[in-house]
Amino acid sequence: MESVPPIRFTLGRQSSMAPDRGSGSDSEDEEIDGLDAIDPRVRLMFFSSEGNLDGIKELLDSGTDVNFKDIDNRTALHVAACQGFCDVAELLLEGGAEVDPKDRWGSTPLADAIHYKNYDMIKLLEKHGAKPLMAPMHVKNAREVPEYEIAAEELDFTDSVDITKGTFTIASWRGTKVAVKKLGDELFTDKDKVRAFRDELELLQKIRHPNVVQFLGAVTQSSPMMIVTEYLPKGDLRPYLKRKGALKPFTAVKYAMDIARGMNYLHENKPEPIIHRDLEPSNILRADSGHLKVADFGISELVKVTEKVKKEKLMSYSDTTWRYVAPEVFRNEDYDTKVDVFSFALILQEMIEGCQPFFMMSEDEVPKAYVANQRPPFNAPSKCYAHGLKELIEECWHENPEERPTFRKIITRLESTYYSINRRRRWKVRPLRWFQKMEMMWKKEDSERSSRDRSSHI
């Protein structure tokens, strides 16, 4: 029997775990030119790299081994996974391709799909039973498992729904409803993000404040990795403001104090402050107690800084709204905790005005207006901005970040405003209560007088 010489398929993207190789050479061009004369198994791999469905069907119908491996143990499914051709992968799998073959470096089609960030391919392979890879934070020694670790099988997603801009999902954990955020597949391919996420979890488990959503734990030893936090059924502030419109000054100030206290706790975290960077109504949740809690400062929003955050260290703002983002961020300048103060000013004004900042402008126009030092107008009656609220808002969204107050100072001023409004409310309520009390006494006396009159008549 004639021996078949070893074959190495070197076209297109190579194994995610293999040493770097070029994607083209003169010898490869010659192979393509004489395609009909090439081993049909190599042609299967070539067609898989090119997305040639008709060629693949013809080869499979003629009996070509769909699970053929080259000298590196690479299969046609490996090739399709690298290229991201889902239709090719589907055809190969229907033709009997093994879903989890390993090449000489231990890479599977799923591993290659993750490496090249072919997310649709990842979903397809998992649908066909590909075994998920160990999570990037997986440890071999049980003693190294983090204290905050939650077993994935403890989370029940039956009848779950998306909440908080779709980034969190409701689940049941040990009989309690929780909010779960599943982390993207990009963590598998970005070691810097994995390292940042590990540091972040160490920090999150230490955060304890009544105005910050409580971190309960995380799934890090299996895929997908997840963050688990307390679930607040009343939802976030965005739909509440949309439904209520302008809030009464007393309520707006009360809510503003909750937000400021939560943010002050994050900013005064030791040894490094925590910048939220995405402070806006949909990231502020309403507790059953009537108070607000700052939320969703996960892997895409939480940043630890020593002095200022350099723009090259920042993550994308593509998943958030620019209506609440400070101008220095839009200008790609260095920034610090004062970006959250800017966002806070817009939220406070929105609660009083009853409409989003620059609601008449498109999302793209708003940050340009901020850069041009334009700010949303004060249209509400002046009495709604009593006790220095307007001045506080103007200071918080000042063009120069250094002129913006800290949240500690903001809390002091809001408390003064709150007590002033509350004192005035009590004085308004007292005469009404006195009248109601006197009316009850009069009714009681009339009733007693009528009763005596009936008694004397008898």
Query: Is a pLDDT exceeding 70 seen at residue 178?
Result: yes
Do 315 and 241 share a domain, yes or no? yes
- Decide if 317 is inside a domain: yes
Q: Where are the beta strands (DSSP E) in 145-240?
A: 155-156, 162-163, 168-173, 176-182, 215-219, 226-230
Which of these, 374, 340, 332, lies nearest to 357 by C-alpha position?
374
> Domain containing 38 — which CATH number?
1.25.40.20
Residue 230 has pLDDT above 70, yes or no: yes
Q: What is the pLDDT of residue 277?
A: 86
Residue 270 is predicted with a pLDDT of: 85
**Could you give the number of structural domains in the chain?**
3
pLDDT at 82 over 90: yes
User: Could you tell me the pLDDT band of residue 25, with boundaries at 50, 70 and 90?
Assistant: very low
d(CA 403, CA 223): 45
Number of C-beta neighbours around residue 334 at 10 A: 14
Please give the pLDDT value at position 34.
52
* Low-confidence winner among 222-236, 332-346, 372-386 (lowest mean pLDDT): 222-236
Q: Is the pLDDT of residue 177 over 60?
A: yes
> Do 370 and 259 share a structural domain?
yes
173 & 121 share domain = no
Which residues, other chains included, contact 111 with Cβ-Cβ below 8 Å and sequence gap of 6+? Answer: 16, 17, 133
Q: What percent of the chain is predicted at pLDDT more than 70?
A: 78
In-domain check, residue 406: yes
Give the HSE-up count for residue 277: Cα atoms under 13 Å, Cβ half-sphere.
28
Domain enclosing residue 55, as ranges: 30-127
Q: Same domain for 163 and 92?
A: no
pLDDT at 458: 57
- The last residue of a domain, from among 203, 230, 257: 230
Predicted local confidence at residue 316, as pLDDT: 46
d(CA 192, CA 194): 5
Q: Are residues 249 and 168 in the same domain?
A: no
Same domain (yes/no): 55, 165: no
| Residue bearing the bigger pLDDT, 191 or 314 | 191
Task: Indicate whether 438 belongs to any domain.
Answer: no
Task: Give the whole-angstrom CA distance, residue 165 versus residue 57.
Answer: 43
Confidence (pLDDT) at 205:
85
Please name which of 185, 187, 180, 136 lies closest in space to residue 154, comparing C-alpha atoms: 180
Residue ending a domain, among 185, 205, 230, is 230
Q: Which residue has the higher pLDDT, 441 or 343?
A: 343
Instruction: List strand residue ranges (DSSP E) for 17-145, in order.
Output: none
Residues 265 and 370 in one domain: yes
Residues 289 and 330 in one domain: yes
Position 130 pLDDT exceeds 50? yes
pLDDT of residue 305: 47
Q: Do residues 255 and 393 both lie within one domain?
A: yes
Based on the domain organization, do 194 and 247 belong to the same domain? Answer: no
pLDDT of amino acid 168: 83
State the pLDDT at residue 239.
93
Angle, vertex CA 138, rays to CA 134 and CA 140, nearest 5: 105
Residues 199, 243, single domain; the answer is no
At residue 379, what are phi and psi to the nearest 5 degrees?
Answer: -100, -20
Mean pLDDT of 7-32: 56
pLDDT on residue 311: 43
Q: Is residue 261 part of a domain?
A: yes
With contact defined as beta carbons under 8 Å apart, do 172 and 216 qualify?
no
Tokens 């209506």 appear where? 323
Instruction: Say what the pLDDT of residue 274 is.
Output: 87
Query: Between vectors from CA 236 to CA 216 and to CA 239, what angle results, nearest 5°?
Result: 160
Reported as a single tens digit per residue, the pLDDT across 314-326 is 444 544 578 999 9
Q: What is the pLDDT of residues 242-266, one digit of tens each?
A: 999 999 999 999 999 999 999 999 9
* 143 pLDDT above the threshold of 90: no
Tell me whether residue 253 is in a domain: yes
Reduced to 3 states (helix: H, G, I; strand: E, B; else coil), residue 156 is strand
State the CATH number of the domain containing residue 219: 3.30.200.20
Place of tokens 């000489």: 104
Candidate from 96-110, 197-211, 270-284, 392-406 with smallest mean pLDDT:
197-211
273 and 180 inside one domain: no
Average pLDDT of the residues in 183-192: 67
Asked whether residue 132 is domain-assigned, the answer is no
Average model confidence (pLDDT) across the chain: 83
Q: How far is CA 381 from the centre of its chain?
A: 36
Q: Which pLDDT score is estimated for 453? A: 63
| Domain-located, residue 255 | yes
Question: Among the three residues 230, 249, 279, which one is the final residue of a domain in this structure?
Answer: 230
Categorize the per-residue pLDDT at 36 as very low, low, confident or very high, splitting at 50, 70 and 90: low
The pLDDT of residue 442 is: 66
pLDDT (average), residues 231-237: 92
pLDDT of 306: 40
Residue 390, in any domain of the structure: yes
> Annotated active-site positions, please?
278
